[in-house]
Amino acid sequence: MVASSPARSDELAGEKVYRQKCASCHGAAGEGTPEDFPRPLAGDKSIPQLAHLIAKTMPSDDPGTCVGEDADKVAAFIYNAFYSKAAQARQKPPRIELSRLTVRQYRNSVTDLIETFQPPARWDDQRGLKAEYFKTRRFRDESRVVERIDGEVHFDYKLSSPDPAKIDPKEFSIRWRGSVLVPETGEYEFVVRTENSARLWVNDLKRPLIDASVKSGKDTEYRGTIRLLGGRPYAIRLEYFKGKDGVEDSKEKKAKAQVEPGSISLEWKLPQQSVEVIPRRNLSPVSFPETFVLDTPLPPDDRSVGYERGTTVSKAWDQATTDAAIEVACYVTAHLRDLAGVADNASDRKAKLRDFTLRFAERAFRRPLTDDLKQRYVDRHFADGRDPELAVKRAVMLVLKSPRFLYREINEGQSDSYDIASRISFGLWDSLPDRALLDAAKAGQLLTREQVARQAERMMPDLRTHAKVREFFLQWLRVEQVPDISKDPKLYPGFDKAIVSDLRTSLDLFLNDVIWSESADFRQILLADTLYLNGRLAKFYGADLPPDAPFKKVSREPRDRAGVLSHPYLMATFAYTATSSPIHRGVFVSRSVLGRSLRPPPEAIAPLAPDLHAGLSTRERVTLQTKPTVCMSCHGMINPLGFGMESFDAVGRFRKVEQGRAIDASGSYEAPSGEVTKYAGARELAGLLAASEETHSAFIEQLFHNVVKQPIRAYGPYELAELRSSFVANGFHIRKLMVEIVASTALVPRDAGRKVADRATSGGQVDRFRSPGVFSEN
Partner 1 sequence: MAQGSTRRDFFRDLGIGAAALPFLLNLPSLGFANQAARKKRLVVMFSPNGIVPKTFWPDDEGDKFALKESLKPLEPFRDRSLILKGVCDKVRGDGDNHMRGMGCLLTGVELFPGNIQGGSDTPAGWASGLSIDQEIKNRLQARPETKTRFGSLEFGVMVPDRADTWTRMVYAGPNKPLAPIDDPYQMFAKLYGQSKDRETLKSILDDVQDDLKKVSSKISVEDRQLLDEHATFVREMEQELKESGNAKIGHPVPEIEPGVKEENDNIPRISKMQIDLMVHSFAADFARVATMQYTNSVGGARMRWLGVNEGHHELSHNPDSDEKSQEKLTKINKWYCEQLAYMAKRLAETPEPGGGGSLLDNTMIVWTNELGKGNSHTLEDIPFVLVGNGLDFKMGRSIKYPKLPHNRLLLSLAEGMGHPIKRFGNPNFCGDGPLPKLT
Least Å distance between CB 650 and partner 1? 38
Opening angle at CA 202, ends 199 and 203, nearest 5: 145
136 touches partner 1 (CB under 8 A): no
Residue number with CB closer to partner 1 (391 or 474): 391
335 touches partner 1 (CB under 8 A): no
390 touches partner 1 (CB under 8 A): yes
When binding is defined by CB under 8 A, the residue of 326, 543, 578, 598 that contacts partner 1 is 326
Please state, in angstroms and as integers, the Cα–Cα distance from residue 296 to each residue in 188, 315, 432, following that order.
Answer: 16, 15, 19
Residue number with CB closer to partner 1 (109 or 730): 109
Closest by Cα among 334, 335, 327 to 293: 327
Which residues have a Cβ under 8 Å from the Cβ of 585 and sit 6 or more positions away?
A: 571, 574, 575, 641, 642, 644, 645
410 touches partner 1 (CB under 8 A): yes
Residue number with CB closer to partner 1 (381 or 585): 381
404 touches partner 1 (CB under 8 A): yes
Residue number with CB closer to partner 1 (410 or 549): 410
When binding is defined by CB under 8 A, the residue of 398, 467, 712, 752 that contacts partner 1 is 398
Which residues have a Cβ under 8 Å from the Cβ of 249 and sit 6 or more positions away?
A: 257
DSSP collapsed to 3 states, 351-411: HHHHHHHHHHHHHHHCCCCCHHHHHHHHHHHHHCCCCHHHHHHHHHHHHHHCHHHHECCCC
Please state, in angstroms and as integers, the Cα–Cα distance from residue 92 to each residue in 76, 120, 136, following that order.
Answer: 20, 47, 74
Contact (CB, 8 A) for 81 and 8: no
69 touches partner 1 (CB under 8 A): no
Give residues 78-117 in contact with partner 1 (rule: CB under 8 A): 95, 97-98, 100
Give residues 217-236 in contact with partner 1 (rule: CB under 8 A): 217-219, 222, 224-227
When binding is defined by CB under 8 A, the residue of 4, 5, 216, 258 that contacts partner 1 is 216
403 touches partner 1 (CB under 8 A): yes
Binding range to partner 1, per CB under 8 A, among 318-326, 428-436, 502-510, 520-528? 318-326
Give residues 157-196 in contact with partner 1 (rule: CB under 8 A): 196
Closest by Cα among 133, 125, 162, 174 to 283: 125
When binding is defined by CB under 8 A, the residue of 78, 210, 720, 741 that contacts partner 1 is 210
Least Å distance between CB 104 and partner 1? 19
- Kindly give the residue spans of alpha helices, DSSP state H, lying in 664-774: 681-691, 693-708, 719-729, 734-745, 750-761
Handedness of CA 674, 677, 682, 684 (dihedral sign): negative
Contact (CB, 8 A) for 172 and 161: yes
Contact (CB, 8 A) for 639 and 607: no
Least Å distance between CB 393 and partner 1? 6
When binding is defined by CB under 8 A, the residue of 169, 178, 208, 717 that contacts partner 1 is 208
Least Å distance between CB 394 and partner 1? 6
DSSP letter (8 states) at residue 282: G
Least Å distance between CB 427 and partner 1? 20
Q: Coil, strand or helix: which one is 720?
A: helix
Least Å distance between CB 315 and partner 1? 5
- Distance from the first to the final alpha carbon of the chain: 11
Least Å distance between CB 402 and partner 1? 6
Residue number with CB closer to partner 1 (373 or 688): 373
CA distance 742 to 98: 18
Q: How many CB atoms lie within 10 A of CB 393?
A: 20
Number of residues that bind partner 1 (CB under 8 A): 67
Give residues 655-674 in contact with partner 1 (rule: CB under 8 A): none
211 touches partner 1 (CB under 8 A): yes
When binding is defined by CB under 8 A, the residue of 384, 412, 450, 518 that contacts partner 1 is 412
Q: Note if the bond before 59 is cis, omega within 30 degrees.
A: yes
Which residues have a Cβ under 8 Å from the Cβ of 338 and sit 6 or more positions away?
A: 117, 118, 290
Handedness of CA 131, 135, 137, 139 (dihedral sign): negative
144 touches partner 1 (CB under 8 A): no
Give residues 244-263 in contact with partner 1 (rule: CB under 8 A): 244-249
Least Å distance between CB 562 and partner 1? 43
Residue number with CB closer to partner 1 (150 or 171): 171
CA distance 53 to 40: 16
Contact (CB, 8 A) for 484 and 256: no
Binding mask 292-311 for partner 1 (x = CB under 8 A): ---xxx-------------x
Q: Note if the bond before 558 is cis, omega within 30 degrees.
A: yes
When binding is defined by CB under 8 A, the residue of 51, 74, 113, 212 that contacts partner 1 is 212
Contact (CB, 8 A) for 353 and 389: yes
Residue number with CB closer to partner 1 (190 or 643): 190
Least Å distance between CB 363 and partner 1? 17
Amino acid (one-letter) located at 346: A
Binding mask 733-762 for partner 1 (x = CB under 8 A): -----------------xx--x--------
Binding mask 456-475 for partner 1 (x = CB under 8 A): --------------------
- Stretch (H or E) spanning 459: helix 449-459
Least Å distance between CB 403 and partner 1? 5
Residue number with CB closer to partner 1 (297 or 444): 297
Binding site residues, partner 1, CB under 8 A: 95, 97-98, 100, 196-197, 207-219, 222, 224-227, 241, 243-249, 295-297, 311-315, 318-319, 322-323, 325-327, 329-330, 376, 390, 393-394, 397-398, 401-404, 407, 410-413, 750-751, 754
